């Protein structure tokens, strides 16, 4: 009984801010100075959301967005981890790449968007490439730091026990730098996610959540825009909770590299 | 562990070789005729347009507008985020009320809101600055909240045992202890805001701004101007990160001994 009560209380706490926000929104929508087309009531938004969801449009858009996210991020992960490991392991690679990487790192990936449009046209290819470019630098930098941070004594111990280069890499360096690499991948995926929506707006891809928002702007369909933003928020929370936290649990904690 | 990075000529020449190699690749790519010269300009014409725009003062003015938006946006977001984060860290009810909406809004990319802000507030400055505020607020709230919660409880008890009242406790113990997190938050906020402002300027098209330069240059196929603007964006971002924030860190938390001077 008591457990039920605390459960009810925490559900109430969870719902409270959203209920308050909904009431404020509704008051502005009904009595504020915005025209209803620009500031629709929540009933309209919910209705539109339901229509879009049942017609399948939201899922098609979400699927296209996730497809780009996955491909762009995979490209960034492969290139980023590869370059980062090379930079961490070989001094010459570090010397050659570090100036280039640290010059490119602070340029927001989105600023390349118009250039990529000129080069590759509109559509999926430049969007995926841009997402990859935008998210690979943070992966490179973290991987590099991780490989550099492997305790030299572990390497020497493994070497004195006769580990060959490949074994050294697979059994010592890779596990030891994994927390950093995973941090880099996590940051890279977050970066890709933040940029992808805007990329879709600028590249006018033929479907996608960002494009849906941008297209709805032309027709003043604020309710469609808010529905897409809701899906974006939902996917964002899902990525954070399901992908990252799970990844961390399965690898780091199990291998004892980090406390649970 | 490399220790303090010592300057070595070997590393310097190798780094130069990397940069030169990149430039050579670009130059051959530009002259190969895969893309026309308007789309992939050779280095000389990029340098010329950069120099011309720097000299006639348009580029500095664009950069100042962009920076101004970032600074204003971060300042406004701090006035929301720092008190909110502190209250969330200190008062249980505030934390329980605001944490769910913050964690729902945080993963929504700020740029997703641009078209909506444009509809509400028109194209131009307001929409762009609002995007910056949205981008900068959440890392700040999150860091301040974490900072206030992670104040060493021993310090709190010690101060309380020595008779500090609530206000003194807050001002003398909680605030300085949370400051490293506030500065980290500021750094993160700047990184996010810098991306958001460029995106905002691309989409919301105010009159001035580095993003606007890129957007306009696309219309006229001036790839050299676009790349010049990219270089300025990167340089200003790097300068802010390296000079402003490291100086800030040195002047505050490092001097007070709150962090081990941030580097080894």
Question: Which site among A109, A117, A194 would you substitute to test the B interface, given the most B Cβ atoms closer than 10 Å to its Cβ?
Answer: A194
- Per-residue confidence (pLDDT) for residue A198, from 0 to 100: 87
- In terms of domains, do A97 and A221 share one? yes
Question: A114 and B112: CB-CB below 8 Å?
Answer: no
Question: B11 and A95: CB-CB below 8 Å?
Answer: yes
For position A136, which CATH number holds? Answer: 1.10.3720.10
Q: Is residue A258 part of a domain?
A: no
- Per-residue confidence (pLDDT) for residue B136, from 0 to 100: 92
- Per-residue confidence (pLDDT) for residue A260, from 0 to 100: 42
- Per-residue confidence (pLDDT) for residue A220, from 0 to 100: 81
Question: Which of B210, B215, B241 is opposite residue A106, by nearest beta carbon?
Answer: B241
Q: Looking at the complex, does the CB of residue B204 fall below 8 Å from at least one CB of chain A?
A: no
Q: Looking at the complex, does the CB of residue B215 fall below 8 Å from at least one CB of chain A?
A: yes
- In terms of domains, do A83 and A13 share one? no
Query: A95: which chain B residues are within 8 Å (Cβ-Cβ)?
Result: 10-11, 14-15, 18
- Per-residue confidence (pLDDT) for residue A254, from 0 to 100: 64
CA distance B6 to B8: 6
At residue B254 the predicted structure's pLDDT band, cuts being 50, 70 and 90, is low
- In terms of domains, do A105 and A14 share one? no
How large is the average pLDDT for residues A40-58?
86
Q: What is the pTM of this model?
A: 0.83
* A 58-97 near B (Cβ less than 8 A): 92, 94-97
CA distance A252 to A255: 5
CB distance B214 to B94 below 8 Å: no
| Tokens read off for A182 | 């995973």
Question: Which site among A114, A210, A211 would you substitute to test the B interface, given the most B Cβ atoms closer than 10 Å to its Cβ?
Answer: A114
Least confident of A31-35, A106-110, A126-130, B111-115: A31-35
Q: Is residue A173 part of a domain?
A: yes
Supply angle C-alpha B213, B68, B58, rounded to 5. 35
CA distance A21 to A27: 10
Q: pLDDT tens, B13-36? A: 888 888 888 888 888 888 887 777
pLDDT higher than threshold 90 for residue B77:
yes
Other C-beta atoms closer than 10 Å to the C-beta of B38 total 13
State percent of chain B over pLDDT 70.
93
Q: Looking at the complex, does the CB of residue A55 fall below 8 Å from at least one CB of chain B?
A: no
Residue of higher predicted confidence among B21 and A78: A78
- In terms of domains, do A17 and A119 share one? no
3-state SS, residue A36: coil
Question: A117 and B218: CB-CB below 8 Å?
Answer: yes
- In terms of domains, do A121 and A22 share one? no
- In terms of domains, do A60 and A158 share one? yes
* A 201-240 near B (Cβ less than 8 A): 201-202, 209-210, 213-214, 216-217, 220, 222, 225-226, 228-229, 232-233, 235-237, 239-240
pLDDT higher than threshold 90 for residue A83:
yes
Supply angle C-alpha B93, B95, B97, rounded to 5. 70
Structural domain boundaries enclosing A60: 40-253
- Per-residue confidence (pLDDT) for residue B205, from 0 to 100: 76
pLDDT higher than threshold 70 for residue A53:
yes
- In terms of domains, do A104 and A147 share one? yes
Chain B: closest CA distance from residue A205 (Å): 15
- Per-residue confidence (pLDDT) for residue A54, from 0 to 100: 87
Tokens 């990487």, residue located: A101
- Per-residue confidence (pLDDT) for residue A132, from 0 to 100: 93
CA distance A74 to A84: 15
Q: Looking at the complex, does the CB of residue B34 fall below 8 Å from at least one CB of chain A?
A: no
At residue B101 the predicted structure's pLDDT band, cuts being 50, 70 and 90, is confident
Nearest to B84 by CA among B106, B113, B68: B106
- Per-residue confidence (pLDDT) for residue B2, from 0 to 100: 42
- Per-residue confidence (pLDDT) for residue A19, from 0 to 100: 87
- In terms of domains, do A89 and A193 share one? yes
CA distance B206 to B191: 21
At residue A255 the predicted structure's pLDDT band, cuts being 50, 70 and 90, is low
pLDDT higher than threshold 80 for residue B251:
no
CB distance B212 to B120 below 8 Å: no
* CA gyration radius, chain A: 23
Structural domains of chain A, count: 2
Question: A104 and B230: CB-CB below 8 Å?
Answer: no
Instruction: Give chain A's mean pLDDT.
Output: 84
Other C-beta atoms closer than 10 Å to the C-beta of A251 total 16
- Per-residue confidence (pLDDT) for residue B18, from 0 to 100: 84
| Tokens read off for A240 | 């954070």
Rounded to the nearest angstrom, the gap between the alpha carbon of residue A152 and the centroid of all alpha carbons in its chain is 33
At residue A79 the predicted structure's pLDDT band, cuts being 50, 70 and 90, is very high
Q: Is residue A190 part of a domain?
A: yes
At residue A99 the predicted structure's pLDDT band, cuts being 50, 70 and 90, is confident
- What Å distances lie between residue A152 and A141, A169, A258, B36, CA to CA? 20, 13, 19, 51
In order of their start, the domains of chain B are: 43-254 (1.10.3720.10)
At residue B4 the predicted structure's pLDDT band, cuts being 50, 70 and 90, is very low
CB distance A72 to A132 below 8 Å: yes
Q: Looking at the complex, does the CB of residue B2 fall below 8 Å from at least one CB of chain A?
A: yes
| Tokens read off for A11 | 């559900």
At residue B261 the predicted structure's pLDDT band, cuts being 50, 70 and 90, is very low
Chain B: closest CA distance from residue A251 (Å): 24
Q: Is residue A188 part of a domain?
A: yes
Sign of the C-alpha dihedral, residues B83, B86, B87, B88?
A: positive
Q: Looking at the complex, does the CB of residue B21 fall below 8 Å from at least one CB of chain A?
A: yes
Q: What does the DSSP assignment read for A150-184?
A: S-HHHHHHHHHTT--HHHIIIIIIHHHHHHHHHHH
CA distance A51 to A227: 10
| Tokens read off for B194 | 């810098």
pLDDT higher than threshold 60 for residue B53:
yes
Query: A145: which chain B residues are within 8 Å (Cβ-Cβ)?
Result: none
Query: A193: which chain B residues are within 8 Å (Cβ-Cβ)?
Result: 107, 109
- In terms of domains, do A107 and A28 share one? no
Question: Which of A14, A202, A228 is opposite residue B100, by nearest beta carbon?
Answer: A14
- ipTM of the complex in this document: 0.80
- What Å distances lie between residue A31 and A23, A34, A222, CA to CA? 12, 8, 17
- In terms of domains, do A52 and A154 share one? yes
Q: Is residue A260 part of a domain?
A: no
State percent of chain A over pLDDT 90.
14
Instruction: Give chain B's mean pLDDT.
Output: 84
Q: Is residue A70 part of a domain?
A: yes
How large is the average pLDDT for residues B43-60?
88
pLDDT higher than threshold 80 for residue A251:
no
Least confident of A120-129, B76-85, B147-156, B247-256: B247-256
Q: pLDDT tens, A131-172? A: 999 899 999 999 998 898 888 888 888 888 888 888 888 888
Beta-carbon contacts of A34 under 8 Å, excluding residues fewer than 6 positions away, are A28, B120
pLDDT higher than threshold 90 for residue A200:
no
CA distance B120 to B14: 52
CA distance A38 to B172: 47
Q: Looking at the complex, does the CB of residue A3 fall below 8 Å from at least one CB of chain B?
A: no
Q: Is residue A5 part of a domain?
A: yes
- In terms of domains, do A129 and A66 share one? yes
pLDDT higher than threshold 60 for residue B212:
yes
Q: pLDDT tens, A11-32? A: 888 888 888 888 888 888 888 7
Chain A residue whose CA is closest to B97: A17
- In terms of domains, do A151 and A213 share one? yes
Q: Is residue A25 part of a domain?
A: yes
Chain A: closest CA distance from residue B207 (Å): 17
- Per-residue confidence (pLDDT) for residue A256, from 0 to 100: 61
Q: pLDDT tens, B170-206? A: 888 888 888 888 888 888 899 889 889 988 888 887 7
Residue of higher predicted confidence among A24 and A243: A24
């Amino acid at each position: 009984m008591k457990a039920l009560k605390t459960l009810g209380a925490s559900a109430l706490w969870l719902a409270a801010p959203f209920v308050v926000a909904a009431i404020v929104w509704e008051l502005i929508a009904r009595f504020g100075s915005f025209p209803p087309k620009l500031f629709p009531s929540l009933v309209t938004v919910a209705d539109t959301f339901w229509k879009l969801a049942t017609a399948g449009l939201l899922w098609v858009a979400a699927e296209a967005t996730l497809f780009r996210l996955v491909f762009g991020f995979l490209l960034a992960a492969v290139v980023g981890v590869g370059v980062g490991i090379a930079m961490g392991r070989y001094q010459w690679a570090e010397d050659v790449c570090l100036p280039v990487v640290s010059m490119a790192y602070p340029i927001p990936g989105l600023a390349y968007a118009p250039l990529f449009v000129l080069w590759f046209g509109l559509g999926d290819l430049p969007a995926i490439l841009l997402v990859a470019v935008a998210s690979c630098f943070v992966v490179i930098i973290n991987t590099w730091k991780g490989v550099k941070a492997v305790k030299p004594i572990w390497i020497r111990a493994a070497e004195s026990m006769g580990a060959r280069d490949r074994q050294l890499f697979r059994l010592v360096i890779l596990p030891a730098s994994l927390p950093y690499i995973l941090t880099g991948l996590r940051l890279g995926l977050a970066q890709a996610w933040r940029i992808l929506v805007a990329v879709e707006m600028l590249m006018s891809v033929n479907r996608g959540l960002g494009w849906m928002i941008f297209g709805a702007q032309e027709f003043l369909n604020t309710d469609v825009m808010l529905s897409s933003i809701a899906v974006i928020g939902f996917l964002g929370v899902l990525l954070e909770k399901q992908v990252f936290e799970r990844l961390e649990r399965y690898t780091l904690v199990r291998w004892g590299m980090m406390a649970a | 562990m490399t220790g303090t990075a010592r300057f070595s000529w070997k590393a310097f020449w190798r780094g130069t070789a990397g940069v030169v190699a990149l430039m050579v690749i670009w130059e051959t790519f530009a002259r190969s005729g895969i893309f026309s010269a308007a789309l992939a300009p050779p280095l000389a014409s990029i340098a010329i347009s950069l120099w011309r725009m720097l000299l006639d003062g348009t580029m500095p003015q664009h950069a100042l507008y962009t920076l101004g938006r970032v600074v204003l946006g971060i300042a406004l977001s701090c006035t929301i985020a720092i008190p909110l984060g502190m209250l969330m860290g200190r008062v249980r009810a505030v934390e329980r009320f605001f944490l769910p909406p913050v964690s729902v809004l945080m993963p929504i990319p700020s740029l997703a809101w641009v078209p909506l802000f444009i509809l509400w507030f028109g194209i131009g400055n307001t929409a762009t600055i609002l995007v910056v505020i949205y981008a900068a607020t959440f890392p700040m709230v999150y860091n301040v909240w974490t900072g206030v919660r992670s104040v060493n409880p021993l310090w709190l008890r010690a101060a309380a045992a020595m008779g500090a009242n609530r206000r003194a406790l807050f001002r003398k113990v909680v605030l300085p202890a949370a400051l490293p997190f506030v500065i980290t938050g500021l750094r993160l906020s700047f990184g996010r805001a810098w991306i958001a402002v460029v995106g905002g300027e691309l989409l919301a098209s105010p009159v001035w701004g580095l993003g606007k330069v890129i957007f306009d240059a696309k219309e006229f196929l001036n790839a050299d101007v676009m790349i010049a603007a990219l270089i300025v964006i990167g340089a200003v971002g790097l300068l802010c990160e390296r000079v402003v924030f490291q100086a800030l860190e040195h002047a505050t938390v490092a001097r007070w001994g709150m962090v081990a001077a941030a580097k080894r």
